[in-house]
Structures are given as structure tokens and as C-alpha cells.
Structure 1
Amino acid sequence: AMWWAWPFLPALVLLSELSVVRVQTAPCQTCQKLTDSFIKGLERTANKNFGGGNTAWEEEKLAKYARSETRLLEIVESACEKTDFDCNRLLEQIEDQVETWWFHRQQEAPDLFEWLCIEELRLCCPPGRFGPDCKECPSGPGGVCGGLGRCEGEGTRLGDGECVCDPGYSGQLCQSCADGACAACYHSCKKCSGPQDYKCLDCKPGWLLHDNKCVDIDECGTELARCPSNTYCHNIEGSYECRGCDQACVGCMGSGPARCKKCARGYRLRGAKCLDIDECNERAIACPGLNEACINEEGSFHCDCADGFIRRDSICVENKPPRTRASFCL
């Protein structure tokens, strides 16, 4: 069902007339751009206000809206610019995959780019890899191509993986100087006038040049980091990581139950932390079944038969040894 195609009807008619290109020919850059735009749409619609005036009603509606086809359609409608032919063509071709991710795979695969562009469509490779089989790029002490060049085809299913060295450098890992008189730059420098950390002329991605030194950019303290829902940003040298929130949280600003934005079901804010609710103590009859005992768990509870009882046909009955026939000796 082409349920999202109507906003792009003129473009789709043009697509069918001009080309019948398979998804595999779409470039990695188009897929990256499409998934980036999709994630922006997720963020834009994350806290949609229904304005009902009733908190319980709004929470129920938001919960239904969060994974709804309505929200998916809103995101898809603005995923591509109308004039972006490649983006609209790819979006038309991958309708089924996007639906699958939205309704079935979001929880286990929160990184849409990784799941869609790398694993499903096989248009891209992870960083540091290239080619149809995503082979590893040549690497040295300074990273890919020694940090002094780029790997041909890195991040895509194209290229031969050879190092294209920065000006002034040569060799398989760009560790040799073209004129025979240079040494490797400091690990954060892209270009330099010497090997020391204070002789940088340009910096690698994730670093900022300041007084000829490359200073780490804290992506988490800026708007540069993009982390999926229910993860938080953790800064590392030259980059950042998205780490999962504590199980007690729904959204968080850091690790542990004290950094939750909201407590998950089965947890309650006590002081500054989201802590487990002991349903067994708080509920008058947590386990209404006869001879049942309540067992508390992290974020939940379950009902089991009390000591000395076993479950038979959904009922807890006394665990008596089976009767044996009486015997006697002649």
C-alpha cells in the first residue's frame, strides 16, 4: 500500500517514467541524508502536545501516537525536499523496510542508519570500512591511513580501500614524507608543522584548533550530538558515544537512576532517583489467587505459588506426595 506516496505523486510519476533503478544503486550519501532527516522528524514530533488539558488523557494519547502510522506519515512527508530526486526515489523504493523498522525493529535497532543503510540496504559500511563486503581500511597508530590521509570508499560499498594521503605524505599508511623530511603529526592533528601537539595546522573531525593545539569538542555539551531516544550522550576524545539509559528511566541525561528524565513503569521518584516500586508491599492484594505469593522484581512483580504449593491447571494446590497402594507380606 502506497499510503505515504500521495504527497510525492508528481515526483513518483516522474520517477516511473525516467528510471527503474534498483535500490542497490542508490549512493550511501543519499541514505545517510534520508535517515538523518528521518531522525530530525522523530525529534520534532517527540513531544507533540495534544492540548487536552487532562494529563492522564494526554499521556494515553501520546503513548498511542508515539508508534502510530499517523506519526510515521508526518515524519515521512517531510523526510525529503520535493526537489531532491534521489531522496524521493530512494524513499519510494524502501517503503516496506521503513515500515518494518517503525513497527517492529525500533527497540532492538534504535540506530536507523545502521539498520537501514548498512544492514538492510547494504549501501553503506561502518566507519573505517569500505567496499561490497565492508573490509577494514588500512590503519596505523594514528587511525585510518595513519590519520594522514583518507581511505578510498570509506563508509560506502565502493572504493578500493587504498589510502589517499594528505599533501606532503606518501606510503601505504601515509607514514612516509613525500620529500623524505617529515614525521607523523600528533594524533589529533590533520596537518601540522611538527610532531608535537602544539604544532597543529588543522584538526581531525571532533577537534577544534586553538593556539596551534587541537582541543577535543564536547559534542554532548553542544547541539552536535544526536542520540536516539532512551540513550544519553557520552563524550570521548574526538567523538562521542550514545549509551543506554538505566532501566528505571524513560529518557535520561546520564547514567544511573538519578539522571532520569522520567521514571519507567514500575519505578517511582524518591529523592533524586527512580527506584523500584515494591508492588507486593504496596498493593493490598497483588496476587489474588488462592495460595499465591507475590514476588517483587526490578520494575515489576510476579505471582508464584506459596511454599508447600505447586501450580496445577492454573491453581496452586498443596504439594502432597502421590498416594501409594498399601502392601502386606504373607
Structure 2
Amino acid sequence: MGRRRRLAAALLPLLPLLGLMGAAGGAAAAGASEAGAGAGAGAEPCRACRGLADSFSRGLERTEREGFGGGNTAWEEEKLAKYKHSETRLLEVLESVCAPSDFACHQLLERSEEHVERWWFHERLQHPDFFQWLCMDRLALCCPAGTYGPDCLPCAGGPQQPCSGNGKCDGDGTRRGTGLCVCSPGYGGPFCSECGDGYYEASRNKSHLVCAECYWACGRCTGPEDSSCLRCKRGWVLHEHRCIDIDECGTEMAHCRANQFCVNTEGSYECRDCSTACIGCMGAGPARCKKCNKGYWRDGAKCLDVDECAGAEEPVCTGAQEVCENTEGSYRCVCAPGHVRRDGQCVEDKPPDAPEKGFFDDVTEDEVVVLQQMFFGMVICALATLAAKGDMVFTAIFIGAVAAMAGYWLSDRGDRVLDGFMKGR
């Protein structure tokens, strides 16, 4: 019981992941059917058990030469011998046997704790195949290869070579399935021991059958040639061991809608739409019409478009500034050249009135710079003339004006003001 408690402690971190904390006390005593039910959550039970057993065996291989460490060889060999069969090694293997996201493995491991412990401490020398001991004998989740179902019955064709080696047994190696054969392409029969439709026996001996494809129109044949057919596929008829295409369009086998025509293809037929000029047709184009559609007239064998715009005695389009435009099978009313439709009426197409230009709208950027410099120079000259007369007041104004105007006209605002002035705004 002490060992089981330590194993349970090692498995305890798995329980919150599974949501099985409340069932942990009874998990160790769960029987084979309970283990099988747990392994079925999202995965086939035998596959889940095989994955667990394979991972467990890899863990044993990984820890084969591990020990507790030691100083000399004799001491290390003694410790290694103890570690090889120790509970410590078992716990190390169990810690990494399942991937974190493998729910089925974690659940199966938690429910199989007692069986794993029993095999490790009591059964592994007599039963070294852990997969067979756990998954087949104890949990009854898997069967030997070539058998299936709850009682591990032989698959169709026998357990040694199920389905004659030409297919797969449904449920092979599990406690599920029907045991029936799912044959590979080209093979058939209850034991996949015959060639399927469209294939013939290329070779056969007591244990193997090789099937090869017939000529593509043959359903059954004796060889690959087109002259070796015994039966034809649908859409073909057998004539002197050859398969001849049936022209469904010349028989009542073809079924197309009223405004479609039939086109024969190899082994079948197609229905294609008639020309828009036709009401019913015998082929493609306006020359194969049974009757002409509205908007068309017959000229010999061909249905031609009626030009409603040219043939009418009275104007077809009566709106102001409207003209008639012929289309295939019909017409439409459009605005006359130089006009556009606005609010349902055709009006003259002219650009909207442009805003009046400012006095300086046509001045280029370089000219604006020159004018700006001229204006700035005239103001400075006027102030300089007044300052030259010796008037201290004008001298101060002159210096201040130079500084203020220089800062202002060199700013973005000054550029915008001057630009607006020159454009008359």
C-alpha cells in the first residue's frame, strides 16, 4: 500500500487537468471495462493504450543506464542494480509518459495505476511485453494482429494474411470493427482475392494476386488491349470484344432542358445552352435555331438581330435629347452626344461654373517672391528716407519696422496674407 500511495502522489498532478479529482480514490480499483471507457475520450481505446505502452517502453530504454551516481565501479554497479528495479525509476518513467495535451493517455494512465504497479513489481520478468500484458490481457482494449472484436476473432481471410494482403480488415488488432475486408483499389471479393471492376489478373500464385487496369472503356477484360473487353462500362456497348461509344444524343437516353442541345462525349453526353437568338435549337449558334427569339428575325436558316432603332416609323425614344441605341435582341435609350442623364433627364454636359479668378491668380510662385521682395524694399526705403532726416522717432520706427517686417514676412502667416492679397481675397 505504501508504494501505491507514492505512485498516486506522482499521478496526483494529472488529476486537476482531467477533472477527476473526486474519482481518484476509486481509480486504482477500476476494472478493465472502466479503463476502456476512459481511454475512449476523443481517441480509439486500443490506439490510446498502444501509445501509452510505446511511450512507457521508450521511458524504460531512456532510464536503462541511469542510477543514483557513485564513487567507484563496484558501488555504482550495486546502486544501478537497485535502481533498475526501483520505485524511483518507475516514477521517473511515469512522469514523462504522456504529453501534456494527451487527454486520453493521462486518463488511461490514471485508471491503470494498479496494473502498471503490478507489472513493474511482479509480472515483468514473466511477461516482458508490456503492451500485450496491459492492453490485451489486462485491459482487453486490443487484439493480436489479424483479429478483431470483443472476442478477438480472425479477420476475413485468416489472421496470418487478412484480406489476402490486398486490403485491410475492419477493426484489425482492436476490440472493435466488423472483421470485413476493405479492399485496395483494383481488388474485390469478400477476401480481396479477386480483381475488381476495370482490372484483370496480371499474375497469380498460391499467396499473391496482382491486378492491372483494363482498357479504360472496359468494365471487365482479359488483358490491357482495347480488343480484350468482356464487359463495357456505362455509356459503351460491346462489339466484337471492343467497347464502342453510345451516342446518347441520337437516342432517348439524353435528357436536356427545353432551351439546350445535346453534345455527345466519350461514354456520356453534355447539355449546352442554345444561342440567345433561339427558342429551342439543334446545335450551337444562331443558325441552328428551331424558332427565333423575340428581337430576332429569320434570314434563311439564321436568326438575326432586329435593329429596332432603324426600322421604326416613329421615334423609339421620345425623351428630350434622347437617341435610340440598338443592342443584341433589343435596344436602349441614351442621351444624345454632348448630353448626360441627371435626375432622369438628358441635360447639356458642360462643366460647372468656375469661381472668378483673383487679380493675381495667374502669377507664378517665382513672381510672387519677386513682388514680395519689391514690396518689402519699398517700405524699408520710405522709412529709411524719414530716418535720414535725423528724426530720432522715425529712426526708431525704421529699426523696429525692419525687425518686425522681417520676422513677419519670413513667417508662414506672412506668406498666406501676401498670397491672399495678390489673389484679390
TM-score range, shorter chain: 0.5 to 0.7
Alignment match, 1:150: 168
Alignment match, 2:123: 105
Q: SS state of the match for residue 9, structure 2?
A: coil
Specify which of 161, 178, 181 is matched with residue 200 of structure 2. 181
Alignment match, 1:11: 17
CA distance in 2, matches of 1:39, 1:176: 41
Alignment check: 8 A CA contact 2:202 2:210 kept: no
Alignment match, 1:265: none
Specify which of 130, 136, 140 is matched with residue 154 of structure 2. 136
Structure 1 pair 160–78 and aligned structure 2 pair: CA distance change class (3 A): same
1:116 and 2:134 are equivalent in the alignment: yes
Measured on the aligned residues, the alpha-carbon RMSD in Å equals: 2.9
Q: SS state of the match for residue 168, structure 2?
A: strand
Q: Deviations over 1:200-229 (max 9, x none)?
A: xxxxxxxxxxxxxxxxxxxxxxxxxxxxxx
Q: SS state of the match for residue 30, structure 1?
A: helix
Gaps of 5+ in 2: 28-32, 40-44, 214-425
Identity %: 52
Alignment match, 1:60: 78
Alignment check: 8 A CA contact 1:133 1:157 kept: yes
Q: CA deviation at 1:15?
A: 7.1
More helix by share: 2
Specify which of 90, 104, 115 is matched with residue 72 of structure 1. 90
Alignment check: 8 A CA contact 1:32 1:113 kept: yes
1:164 and 2:182 are equivalent in the alignment: yes
TM-score by length of 1: 0.53
The runs of at least 4 consecutive aligned structure 1 residues that moved more than 4 Å come to: 14-17, 183-194
Larger radius of gyration: 2
Q: CA deviation at 1:53?
A: 2.7
Q: CA deviation at 1:6?
A: 2.9
Aligned partner letter, 1:23: A
Structure 1 pair 62–55 and aligned structure 2 pair: CA distance change class (3 A): same
CA distance in 2, matches of 1:6, 1:190: 54
Q: Deviations over 1:97-135 (max 9, x none)?
A: 000000000000000000000010000000111000001
Q: Deviations over 1:259-301 (max 9, x none)?
A: xxxxxxxxxxxxxxxxxxxxxxxxxxxxxxxxxxxxxxxxxxx
Q: Deviations over 1:82-104 (max 9, x none)?
A: 11111000000000000000000
Alignment match, 1:51: 69
CA distance in 2, matches of 1:127, 1:141: 7
Aligned partner letter, 1:168: G
Q: Deviations over 1:134-168 (max 9, x none)?
A: 01112269821100001110000001100111111
CA distance in 2, matches of 1:29, 1:137: 18
Structure 1 pair 111–190 and aligned structure 2 pair: CA distance change class (3 A): farther
CA distance in 2, matches of 1:156, 1:76: 25
TM-score by length of 2: 0.42
Q: Deviations over 1:216-268 (max 9, x none)?
A: xxxxxxxxxxxxxxxxxxxxxxxxxxxxxxxxxxxxxxxxxxxxxxxxxxxxx
The structure with higher relative contact order (CA 8 Å, sep 6+) is: 1
Aligned partner letter, 1:22: E
CA distance in 2, matches of 1:106, 1:62: 18
CA distance in 2, matches of 1:37, 1:12: 19
Alignment check: 8 A CA contact 1:15 1:89 kept: no
Aligned partner letter, 1:48: E
1:23 and 2:35 are equivalent in the alignment: yes
CA distance in 1, matches of 2:98, 2:22: 18
Q: CA deviation at 1:33?
A: 0.1
Structure 1 pair 116–144 and aligned structure 2 pair: CA distance change class (3 A): same
Aligned partner letter, 1:61: K
Gaps of 5+ in 1: 195-330
Q: CA deviation at 1:184?
A: 6.3
